[in-house]
């Protein structure tokens, strides 16, 4: 196949042509495929399957309907043959005009293989995270090049990208030098530089594949050009102005070329090109021209708006244009980057508790409210910009201001960073190391150094990127998971996290904070202090999910809680589709396929048993119960960490999203649909929130204010029984300072009121939280009465349910998604607690909402307890 993609170019200089049209082939004989490979797939692959790059073998086969989709309903074993097959992607590239230079730029190859041009191996690849360059040389006229065809027409280059099965490569490396990893992971993902979670994780399937997972470009040019551009934007509060540092490397600039830098159309800096001797081509290319050069400079940029995180101001962005200009003023090349000007600091300072861990943006602490982010699909290249915008938008809608990109995935895409920049979402980016010891041989060190360089060049200018992190849980694993005995003194990755990565970042991206890992305790690298010390640095909290009730969070402390969570199944429509029908109950064997966590079903069952006297035996009852327990864990954990407002400065839930229809810790499933826990998140992650816990106040709650202005909070405290009998009520009228909190409790309660109460309810400025004073097993699940009015609107797809509580109604929800007609439903409110006589309005949107009768709407309402909802 010959590429036909449209060309893209700057106003001057190189032409960059996306190479999108390829064919996918089995490398070798189709007879070598396993017998269970579908006949349709064999037939389609016989002459090559046309594919659109970026893609991998698995993604292409799923898109063509030739392999099952594990993100919908397929079993991972049904696509295992794809990982075991050697593949080849082919295209033909027309040669450029006479005298032009050309090169092939591969933004991402997954993972092990080679690039072959006209039958010659031009590049060996073994790293999914790197950008690779193949120099194709200079095109000559017909008299000077005997390979040209009749009449002087330029032939095309034949390009093949061969990808080998990655598992045998990893297994061979494991046999030669075994290295430990978390015990629950059998496959040696740590022995090859690829996305760890594709080898299977405790929330995802085994879906190893190969291909061109990021774009491929043909670059052609005949004169000078930018080779690389790096920018770093800051903010000078004293001058109320932006700051900009830039570095550019060039080729072909032997003449008197210089660089002009413009922001918002205004020239802010210029610099002459100085010769650059002995520079190696990034990405493995050939030596450059004698005219290689570099320019380094900086500028103060006035009259620009500052970039602030969401909730603290506007995330203003500005285009920075760098132009390579010759002595006559002609523009030879142009590079454009969008930046945000902001000041960024990480403060780790000793104090009375231990040592703080605080992100400060533009001179003030940003109390971090966030989610961990995993690849939102088993083949990340298929994730669209619209889906990314939906997921990040849902995080913001839930109150988040940060996403932590976890180290078992990838350095995220440009499209992801575009959305985060625009919405003001801070990004913590792990480097791709997770839950394992990693080899430190010279070849791997060179690969890692190239990965860091490529990552910084690609996303280092991003306003949203606030923290680099060396690894996920490797420091903790080395200390506590028995690795030391296995390693017997051998290298295990510490050289990356404590030396190589920070040294490279000090040169490439010095203005941005870096930490060696998560969890991590500042002050040492040999286990002292312990890497998961709750008095300093970053902590992970997993004993709750693994061993305890989620109420144990209420005794936890942290300076910055970066991982903690609780599971629930995917939304009902996604779960039912994955199982091929409704689950029969908690013991349905089909659920086991979607549960990847060690003892995961046991922990789910324990959570239900700790909060429900009667274990649900039917599928819908189990679904509702597990969703309620996850929502309760959200309140217990984030409520606790945010109530420690002065000594804790961040809470990052594990996890936001999913890559298949899992039983997992996510609050959005693989389709981007909300679990009930998302609504609990919206309550406890709000910048101004009422939290159902308060340190040192047994019957208290906390008002917390993360905004820059004080919060004059007015409302009431109500002391009630489980039936809703009011034992005491008093007003609330307090001012919560900016970046501050206030504990609220019934200070003037009548003697004995608390002793006889079941709950304290705080309602302030339309926000409500409940502190339950007795455990759920003590409270039980009483019959609860409510009256329902169904309002039909002018829009037949929108229905409003007005619910009036007769008794105390706890965690009122509408389980509309369990009706097959309402699989697309969106509900504006869930998990609403009403005192007797109070009303709530729930807006429900679904294409077929008008088909549901009033009685059916009432039957879809539920709460903690047995709800008797009657239409009126």
Mean pLDDT (whole number) for 416-426: 98
Find tokens 């929108």 and name the residue.
798
- Please determine, for residue 157, whether its predicted confidence score (pLDDT) is greater than 70: yes
Q: Tell me: do 372 and 473 sit in the same domain.
A: yes
- Please determine, for residue 230, whether its predicted confidence score (pLDDT) is greater than 60: yes
With 0-12 / 13-18 / 19 or more C-beta atoms within 10 angstroms meaning exposed / middle / buried, residue 491 is: middle
Mean pLDDT (whole number) for 265-293: 69
Last residue of a domain, one of 310, 339, 368: 339
- Does any domain span residue 234? yes
pLDDT at site 2: 54
Q: Tell me: do 101 and 167 sit in the same domain.
A: yes
Dump the DSSP string for 512-579: S-EES-BSB-TT-SSSSS-TT-TTBSBEE--HHHHHS-GGGGGG---SSEEE----EEPPHHHHHHHH
Distance CA 401, CA 653 (A): 12
Q: Tell me: do 187 and 257 sit in the same domain.
A: no
Query: 3: pLDDT confidence band, cut at 50, 70 and 90?
Result: low
- Please determine, for residue 277, whether its predicted confidence score (pLDDT) is greater than 80: no
Mean pLDDT (whole number) for 556-571: 98
Least Cα distance to 211 among 115, 136, 118, 70 occurs for 115
Distance CA 368, CA 526 (A): 28
Query: 97: pLDDT confidence band, cut at 50, 70 and 90?
Result: confident
CB atoms within 10 A of CB 442: 7
pLDDT at site 254: 66
Find tokens 């004080």 and name the residue.
710
Residue of higher predicted confidence among 525 and 343: 343
Answer whether 566's CB lies under 8 Å from 650's CB: no
Q: Tell me: do 654 and 510 sit in the same domain.
A: yes
Per-residue pLDDT reduced to its tens digit, 236-254: 999 999 999 999 999 988 6
Least Cα distance to 363 among 231, 522, 234, 538 occurs for 234
Mean pLDDT (whole number) for 597-606: 97
Beta-carbon contacts of residue 458 (< 8 Å; ≥ 6 apart): 131, 411, 414
Q: Tell me: do 213 and 227 sit in the same domain.
A: no
**421, containing H or E segment:** helix 414-423
pTM: 0.96
Mean pLDDT (whole number) for 341-370: 97
Answer whether 691's CB lies under 8 Å from 713's CB: no
Mean pLDDT (whole number) for 421-431: 98
Distance CA 503, CA 332 (A): 34
Strand partners, 163: 87, 113
- Does any domain span residue 608? no
Q: Tell me: do 40 and 129 sit in the same domain.
A: yes
> What is the domain-level CATH number for residue 44?
2.60.120.260
- Does any domain span residue 506? yes
- Does any domain span residue 16? yes
Query: 525: pLDDT confidence band, cut at 50, 70 and 90?
Result: confident
Mean pLDDT (whole number) for 808-815: 98
- Please determine, for residue 10, whether its predicted confidence score (pLDDT) is greater than 60: no
Q: Tell me: do 75 and 146 sit in the same domain.
A: yes
Query: 872: pLDDT confidence band, cut at 50, 70 and 90?
Result: confident
Q: For residue 72, what are the CA distances in angstroms to 570, 578, 579?
A: 12, 6, 9
pLDDT at site 147: 46
Distance CA 707, CA 366 (A): 9
Q: Tell me: do 226 and 208 sit in the same domain.
A: no
> What is the domain-level CATH number for residue 808?
2.60.40.10
pLDDT at site 833: 98
Q: Go through 618-647 and write b for each residue having 16 or more CB atoms within 10 A of its CB, e for each that does not.
A: ebebbbbbbbbbbbbbbbbbbbbbbbbbeb
- Please determine, for residue 450, whether its predicted confidence score (pLDDT) is greater than 70: yes
Per-residue pLDDT reduced to its tens digit, 66-80: 999 999 999 999 999
Q: Tell me: do 655 and 719 sit in the same domain.
A: no
What percent of the chain lies above the pLDDT cut of 70? 95
Domain count within the chain? 5
Take residue 336 and report the two structure tokens written for it: 């454009």
- Please determine, for residue 656, whether its predicted confidence score (pLDDT) is greater than 60: yes
- Does any domain span residue 619? no
Least Cα distance to 255 among 328, 335, 334 occurs for 328
Query: 281: pLDDT confidence band, cut at 50, 70 and 90?
Result: very low
Q: Tell me: do 403 and 544 sit in the same domain.
A: yes
- Please determine, for residue 208, whether its predicted confidence score (pLDDT) is greater than 90: yes
What average pLDDT is seen over the chain? 94
Query: 782: pLDDT confidence band, cut at 50, 70 and 90?
Result: confident
Q: Tell me: do 556 and 655 sit in the same domain.
A: yes
Distance CA 84, CA 168 (A): 9
- Does any domain span residue 589? no
Last residue of a domain, one of 201, 218, 235: 218
pLDDT at site 530: 94
Mean pLDDT (whole number) for 832-861: 97
Q: For residue 395, what are the CA distances in angstroms to 449, 462, 654, 670?
A: 32, 19, 12, 14
Per-residue pLDDT reduced to its tens digit, 388-404: 999 999 999 999 999 99
Per-residue pLDDT reduced to its tens digit, 107-131: 999 999 999 999 999 999 999 999 9
Per-residue pLDDT reduced to its tens digit, 306-329: 999 999 999 999 999 999 999 889
Residue of higher predicted confidence among 4 and 71: 71
pLDDT at site 280: 47
- Does any domain span residue 265? yes
Last residue of a domain, one of 772, 796, 812: 772
pLDDT at site 150: 39
> What is the domain-level CATH number for residue 415?
3.20.20.80
Distance CA 624, CA 632 (A): 12
Residues in the chain, how many? 872
- Does any domain span residue 352? no
Per-residue pLDDT reduced to its tens digit, 158-172: 999 999 999 999 999
- Please determine, for residue 285, whether its predicted confidence score (pLDDT) is greater than 60: no
Take residue 439 and report the two structure tokens written for it: 């080899």
Q: Tell me: do 112 and 245 sit in the same domain.
A: no
Least Cα distance to 468 among 419, 407, 394 occurs for 407
Domain extent, residue 553, equals 357-579+634-686
- Please determine, for residue 142, whether its predicted confidence score (pLDDT) is greater than 50: no
């Amino acid at each position: 196949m010959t590429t036909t993609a449209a060309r893209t170019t700057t106003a001057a200089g190189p032409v960059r042509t996306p190479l999108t049209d390829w064919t996918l082939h089995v490398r070798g004989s189709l007879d070598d495929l396993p017998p269970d490979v579908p006949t349709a797939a064999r037939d389609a692959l016989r002459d090559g399957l046309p594919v659109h790059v970026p893609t991998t073998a698995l993604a292409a086969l799923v898109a063509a309907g030739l392999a099952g989709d594990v993100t919908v309903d397929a079993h991972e074993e049904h696509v295992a043959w794809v990982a075991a097959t050697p593949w080849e992607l082919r295209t033909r590239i027309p040669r450029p005009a006479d005298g032009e230079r050309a090169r092939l730029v591969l933004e991402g190859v997954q993972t092990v293989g080679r690039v072959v041009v006209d039958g010659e191996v031009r590049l060996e690849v073994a790293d999914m995270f790197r950008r690779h360059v193949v120099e194709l040389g200079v095109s000559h006229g017909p008299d000077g090049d005997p390979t040209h065809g009749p009449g002087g027409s330029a032939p095309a280059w034949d390009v093949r990208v061969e990808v080998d099965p990655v598992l045998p490569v990893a297994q061979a490396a494991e046999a030669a030098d075994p290295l430990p990893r978390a015990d629950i992971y059998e496959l040696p993902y740590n022995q090859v530089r690829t996305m760890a979670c594709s080898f299977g994780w405790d929330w995802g399937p085994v879906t190893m594949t190969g291909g061109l997972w990021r774009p491929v470009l043909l670059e052609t040019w005949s004169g000078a050009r930018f080779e690389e551009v790096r920018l770093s934007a800051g903010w000078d509060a004293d001058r109320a102005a932006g700051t900009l540092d830039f570095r550019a490397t060039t080729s072909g600039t032997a003449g008197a070329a210089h660089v002009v830098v413009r922001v918002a159309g205004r020239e802010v800096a210029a610099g002459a090109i100085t010769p650059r001797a002995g520079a190696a081509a990034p990405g493995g290319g050939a030596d450059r021209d004698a005219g290689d050069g570099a320019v380094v400079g900086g500028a103060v940029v006035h009259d620009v708006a500052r970039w602030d995180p969401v909730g603290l101001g506007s995330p203003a962005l500005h285009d920075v244009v760098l132009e390579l200009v010759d002595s006559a003023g002609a523009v030879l090349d142009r590079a454009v980057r969008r930046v945000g000007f902001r000041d960024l600091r990480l403060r780790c300072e000793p104090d009375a508790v231990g040592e703080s861990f605080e992100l400060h943006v533009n001179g003030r602490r940003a109390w971090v409210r966030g989610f961990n982010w995993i690849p939102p699909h088993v083949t990340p290249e298929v994730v669209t910009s619209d889906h990314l915008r939906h997921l990040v938008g849902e995080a913001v809608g839930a109150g988040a201001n940060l996403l932590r990109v976890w180290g078992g995935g990838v350095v995220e895409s440009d499209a992801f960073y575009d959305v985060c920049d625009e919405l003001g979402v801070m990004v913590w980016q792990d480097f791709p190391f997770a839950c394992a010891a990693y080899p430190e041989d010279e070849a791997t060190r060179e690969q890692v150094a190239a990965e860091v360089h490529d990552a910084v060049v690609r996303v280092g200018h991003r306003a949203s990127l606030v923290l680099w992190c060396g690894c996920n849980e490797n420091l903790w694993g080395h200390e506590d998971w028995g690795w030391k005995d296995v390693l017997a003194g051998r290298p295990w990755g510490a050289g990356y996290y404590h030396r190589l990565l920070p040294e490279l970042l000090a040169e490439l991206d010095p203005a941005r904070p870096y930490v060696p890992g998560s969890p991590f305790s500042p002050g040492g690298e040999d286990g002292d202090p312990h890497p998961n010390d709750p008095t300093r640095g970053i902590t992970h909290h997993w004993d709750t999910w693994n061993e305890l009730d989620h109420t144990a969070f209420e005794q936890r402390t942290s300076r910055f809680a970066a991982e903690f969570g609780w599971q629930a199944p995917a939304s009902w429509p996604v779960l039912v589709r994955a199982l091929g029908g409704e689950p029969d109950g908690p013991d349905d064997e089909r659920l086991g396929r979607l549960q990847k966590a060690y003892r995961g079903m046991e922990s789910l069952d324990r959570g239900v048993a700790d909060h429900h006297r009667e274990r649900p035996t039917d599928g819908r009852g189990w679904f509702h119960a597990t969703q309620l327990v996850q929502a309760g864990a959200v309140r217990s954990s984030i409520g606790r960490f945010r109530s420690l407002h002065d000594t804790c400065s961040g809470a990052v839930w594990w996890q936001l999203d999913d890559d298949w229809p899992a039983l997992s810790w996510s609050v959005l499933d693989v389709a981007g649909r909300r679990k009930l826990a998302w609504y609990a998140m919206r309550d406890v992650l709000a910048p101004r929130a009422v939290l159902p816990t308060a340190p040192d106040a047994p019957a208290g709650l906390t008002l917390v204010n993360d905004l820059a202005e004080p919060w004059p909070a007015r409302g009431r405290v109500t002391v009630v029984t489980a039936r809703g009998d009011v034992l005491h009520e008093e007003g609330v009228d307090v001012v919560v300072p900016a970046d501050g909190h206030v504990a609220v409790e019934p200070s003037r309660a009548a003697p004995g009121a608390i002793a006889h109460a079941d709950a304290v309810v705080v309602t302030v400025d339309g926000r409500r939280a409940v502190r339950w004073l007795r455990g759920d097993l003590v409270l039980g699940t009483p019959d609860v009465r409510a009256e329902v009015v169904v309002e039909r609107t002018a829009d037949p797809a929108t229905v409003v349910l007005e619910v009036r509580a007769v008794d105390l109604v706890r965690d009122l929800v509408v389980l509309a998604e369990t009706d097959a007609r309402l699989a697309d439903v969106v509900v504006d409110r869930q998990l609403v607690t009403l005192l007797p006589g109070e009303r709530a309005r729930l807006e429900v949107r679904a294409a077929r909402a008008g088909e549901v009768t009033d009685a059916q709407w009432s039957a879809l309402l539920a709460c903690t307890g047995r709800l008797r909802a009657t239409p009126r």
